[in-house]
Structure 1
Amino acid sequence: MESLQQFIEPILEPIAAWFRGLGIPEPIVHWGHPLMMGIVVLVMGSFVGLTGWRGRVVEDKDAALHSRKAHRKLAPWMFLFIALGYTGGVLSLVMQHQPIFQSWHFWTGSLAVALLGLNGAISLFGFRSKQGLQLRPVHGYLGSIALCLLFLHGLLGLKLGLSL
């Protein structure tokens, strides 16, 4: 891990130094990422998860269709904001001269982005594999696991933020 850190930090440090040079107040550097990502995960994540499951289980066909459409519209935006927030969180650590890879918060965020990316790929490339495997249930459960992981990620982030 040490060699990976030595490879990544020199790449990110000039970007972090540029942001440091903007004179952004320390509380914003420290708590901006958690505040913004908390909103994305709690509001968008909850809505995307709810509409996804509602589109599957509600008996009213019109309501189910409405939920699936809402899920399809907002889920890509949520993934984009999560991916950008992930980048911002890593950059925030570098700006604060903190090690990137020594935190469970980093690893749960990395796993969550990977799971959401895989889930997006499942939805983009179809719910049925060439072997006939139904991926639609996998999509729902994988998305739910990713959201639960993001809630754990938030708790670990709060612990990290309070320790810095």
Structure 2
Amino acid sequence: MENVSQLLTPILEPIAEQFRSFGTPAPIVHWGHPLMMGIVVFFMGSFVGLAGWRGRVLADTDAANKSRADHRKIAPWMFLFIALGYTGGVLSLVMQHQPILESPHFWTGSVVVILLGTNGIISLAGFGGNKAALRTVHAYLGSTALCLLFLHAVLGLKLGLAI
């Protein structure tokens, strides 16, 4: 993976240099990604997960439908913010002249993006004709991604304190 990192860093460096030229204070460069992503993960992610599960388990049909609608409205935005944050996190490391693609934080983030992307594809495919098994896979895959995001946050805090 070191070879890939050595290939990517020079490609990303001009972008990082452009952002460095804005004169953003070092604490914002260092802690901006974790702060913004913490908001997305803890607030948006918790809401999306809770709304999705409420839509599955509530006996009140109206409340369940509202939860499913809320889940459908917010989940794509959450995925977009996660994907952008993933990119921003890598760029933040380049801006700070730190190695990329090496930390457990990077790997958990990569797995989360893959899991959430897969979940989005399942949803966009109409759950294979509204198959209950694919809806169940979607629910547990999303829950796994959210749990992994909490671990990801802990690993990110550890990384942030180490650099």
Confirm or deny that 1:134 pairs with 2:139. no
Paired residues for 1:4-15 under 5 Å: 4-15=4-15
CA deviation string 1:5-56 (max 9, x = no partner): 1111111000001111111000000000000000000000000000000000
The residue type equivalent to 1:50 in the other structure is L
| Paired-residue identity, % | 73
- Distance in 1, matches of 2:64 and 2:132, equals 23
Structure-2 separation of matches of 1:2 and 1:54: 43
The answer to whether structure 1 residue 29 and structure 2 residue 51 are counterparts is: no
Q: Please show how residues 1-164 of structure 1 align to structure 2 within 5 Å.
A: 1-128=1-128, 134-164=133-163
* Cα distance between partner residues in 2 of 1:2 and 1:155: 24
Q: Could you state the TM-score of these two structures normalised by the residue count of structure 1? A: 0.96
**Which ranges in structure 2 are unaligned for 5 or more consecutive residues?**
none
In 1, Cα distance between the equivalents of 2:67 and 2:80? 20
Q: Is the 8 A contact 1:79 1:116 kept in 2?
A: yes
Runs of 4+ in 1 over 6 A off after TM superposition: none
> Unaligned regions of 5+ residues in structure 1, if any?
none
> Cα offset for 1:114?
0.7
The number of equivalent residue pairs is: 163
Superposition RMSD in Å: 1.4
| Residues 104 and 156 in structure 1, CA contact (< 8 A), matched pair in contact too | yes
Deviations 1:44-70 (A, max 9, x none): 000000000000000000000000000
Higher helix share: 2
Per mean C-alpha deviation after superposition, the further-off stretch among 31-40 and 120-129 is 120-129
